Amino acid sequence: MSQMNTPTDQTTEPESSPSPAATSGRRQRRRPIRPLLERIGITAVALVAIVGFLSPLLLSITVSLKSIDQLSNGGSILPESPQTYSYNGRDLDVYVVPMPDGSTHHLALLKSSRAAGTVTFVDPAKPDAEPVVWKGNRFDLARSTTLDPQWSNYSTAWNDISFFRLLINTIALATIQTTGVLISCTLVAYAFARFRFRGRNVLFMMVVATIFLPTFATVVPIYTIFTKIGWNGTWAPLIVPAFFANAYDVFLLRQFLMTIPRDLDEAAALDGAGPVRTLVSVILPQAWPAIVAVAIFTFVYSWNDYFGPLLYLTSNQALQPLSLGLANFHGARNLQNPGVVQAATLMSIVVPLVFFLVFQRFFVKGISITGSGVEK
């Protein structure tokens, strides 16, 4: 009896789909790529912006290291001078000479023959070797240059401009002005931030409104007053106004002081501290970031101030600061040697740059907090 083979139904099971956990894992592995590309792009844009912002400073540094001949020759940004080679008592110009094998050599020009169309060179690396005869026109060759910074520009500027005297005047003037601004603005800001009195908000708005008063609208009357009382030719017109506060720094300090909890004032009052003791022992130790920010603003502004010294110190050179002294030096020496002028200018920015770098952390913290002050 034959057996019938019954075909067996083979059911194909569907492929198992990836689990949600596996899909989530692959997505998580892909995600870090996009933030990384974003950070790279932001960093690249920031670097381009920094290079563009610092390019004038870099150019000033290179100009300060150049002589008059290097500046007149133009060409390279770096302070380079044409290279020469002493041969048998003669100074020979060195050129970059292409050779038939495709290489280039720095060779010293010994003689040139236009009729034969050849140029004879001496190899400075092999002075005892036979001269090299090169076919071509020497005017098609580029001069070989060597790095030759003129550091003497800085010593020349220091001596010719009486830089030390101007530096001492500027440091003294900026320090006194900064001290006056810190004392006066701190007291006024403390009063507006902590004391409650009738018309406080209106008075504060009037102080802030003076920011919009054009400076040059008050120049003539203020100059007339200072001249009549005999302050022209002295530091008094530049120092005395600093001890009467200004709206910019009062606003900055007030906003910061308002972020300090009033509970500290009340605790100090319970211990018997008065307003002055509270300011010195409680408020100021916590307000250092804002105070440093104001100090940096004031110091740099005073260091770079040109209009004030020009107005009151033109007749007294012994009291002039760097800003006015550099302007006079620039007019007298710019055409003679611009490198010396740039050297003097770069020396004048060293002190405020160091001042900023030392207190940079407090400065950034003070600026970031002062805009968020809300009275408690």
pLDDT at 213: 86
Q: How many CA atoms lie within 13 A of 86 on its CB side?
A: 1
Please enumerate in sequence order all residues whose Cβ is within 8 A of that of 203, keeping only pairs 6 or more positions apart, or say none.
192
Q: Is 310 helix (H, G, I), strand (E, B) or coil?
A: helix
- Dihedral sign for Cα 229, 172, 285, 248, please: positive
Q: Is 14 helix (H, G, I), strand (E, B) or coil?
A: coil
- Could you give the percent of the chain with pLDDT greater than 70? 85
Answer yes or no: are the C-beta atoms of 356 and 241 closer than 8 Å. no
| Segment 208-238, tens digit of pLDDT | 898 888 888 889 999 999 999 999 999 999 9
Say yes or no to pLDDT of 371 above 80. no
| Segment 116-164, tens digit of pLDDT | 678 888 888 887 778 888 888 878 888 888 888 999 999 988 988 889 9
Higher pLDDT, 267 or 139: 267
pLDDT band at 333 (very low <50, low <70, confident <90, very high): low
Query: In angstroms, rounded to a whole number, what is the distance separating the alpha carbons of residues 271 and 61?
Result: 58
Please enumerate in sequence order all residues whose Cβ is within 8 A of that of 17, keeping only pairs 6 or more positions apart, or say none.
none
Query: In angstroms, rounded to a whole number, what is the distance separating the alpha carbons of residues 309 and 114?
Result: 63
pLDDT at 1: 41
Residue type, 164: F
pLDDT at 119: 86
Centre a 10 Å sphere on the Cβ of residue 227 and count the other Cβ atoms it contains: 13
Say yes or no to pLDDT of 347 above 70. yes
pLDDT at 6: 45
Neighbouring-strand partners of residue 354: none
DSSP 132: E
Helices within 65-162 (DSSP H only): 68-73, 152-160
pLDDT at 178: 95
Choose from 71-75, 326-330, 339-343 the range with maximum mean pLDDT.
Answer: 339-343
Query: In angstroms, rounded to a whole number, what is the distance separating the alpha carbons of residues 236 and 230?
Result: 10
Please enumerate in sequence order all residues whose Cβ is within 8 A of that of 282, keeping only pairs 6 or more positions apart, or say none.
264, 265, 268, 273
CA 45 to chain centre: 18
Q: Which residue has the tokens 């012994």?
A: 318
- Dihedral sign for Cα 68, 74, 78, 80, please: negative
Say yes or no to pLDDT of 2 above 50. no
Question: 4-8, 88-92, 128-132, 225-229: which range is least confident on average?
Answer: 4-8
| Segment 172-198, tens digit of pLDDT | 999 999 999 999 999 999 999 988 888
Centre a 10 Å sphere on the Cβ of residue 363 and count the other Cβ atoms it contains: 21
Centre a 10 Å sphere on the Cβ of residue 339 and count the other Cβ atoms it contains: 26
Query: What is the value of pTM for the model shown?
Result: 0.75
The overall average pLDDT reported for the chain is 83
| Segment 103-117, tens digit of pLDDT | 888 888 888 877 667
Answer yes or no: are the C-beta atoms of 109 and 138 closer than 8 Å. yes
Query: In angstroms, rounded to a whole number, what is the distance separating the alpha carbons of residues 304 and 231?
Result: 21
